[in-house]
Amino acid sequence: MFFIAVLLMGAAGLFGLAADAVMPKENKVTQEIKINPVYCFNKPSESLVIRPDFIGCIIGEDLPLGQSEITESTERPTDLHPHVLARFLSAQAAAKAEGVTMTFDSGYRTLETQNYLFQRAIKEHKTPEEAIKWVLPGDLSRHPWGLALDVNLHHEKSGASWLEANGSTFGLCRVYENEWWHFEPLIAPGGVCPPLLPDASHLK
């Protein structure tokens, strides 16, 4: 039986060689299966899970982090973007595991609130040109789009420092040199954050 099996294998090998010899090279199709990682915040385990794309995030169990930079949608939201929340929750859980406390003091703001903060900043900084380095008006800020987080602003700076060092894993980046607390979803989770901008007057 073993002998027959070897013979058959030998025959197949010969046939394979023969087929190879007659088949033009360019007709050979090389199929590469690429599996992209999908980032999800797993609610039961309260941690980041990375699943293959053919499974994706599990509805009811996972919150998706999104697979790219998160940009303004066509409609004004009424809350933080759900992918931004999932990114923050994943980062917060990872920081907690290392003994670092991280909260966000401000995320989504209404246009009215953002405009009020801008007017207040003009009074504080004397001119709109100086104020805009710290607070953007409603139509320019990404807070009313639910796409910005002010992390640990009124708490320990160490939480924001942790996020600056580790945020790219979760797709969150510090944006400005003068604001250690302000983070935006500028990249896909696992990407590389761009260099810091000097201040908010330098819009992306």
Can you give the binding site for Zn ion, defined by CB under 5 A?
A: 148, 150, 182
Q: Choose between 61 and 72: whose C-beta lies nearer to Zn ion.
A: 72
- Minimal distance, residue 183 CB to Zn ion, in Å: 8
Which pair of structure tokens corresponds to residue 5? Answer: 């099996």
Do 111 and 140 form a contact (C-beta atoms < 8 A)? no
Residues in the chain: 204
Q: How remote is the C-alpha of 196 from its chain's centroid?
A: 17
CB 150 to Zn ion: min, Å: 4
Tell me the β-bridge partners of 38. 51
Q: Which is nearer to Zn ion, 174 or 182 (CB)?
A: 182
User: Nearest residue to Zn ion, using CB?
Assistant: 182
CB of 189 to Zn ion, least distance (A): 21
Q: Name the minimum Å distance from CB 63 to Zn ion.
A: 22
Closest CA to 151 of 87, 65, 202, 98: 87
Nearer to Zn ion, 62 or 150 (CB): 150
Radius of gyration of the chain (CA): 26
Helical (H) or strand (E) element with 5: helix 2-22
Q: Which is nearer to Zn ion, 147 or 148 (CB)?
A: 148
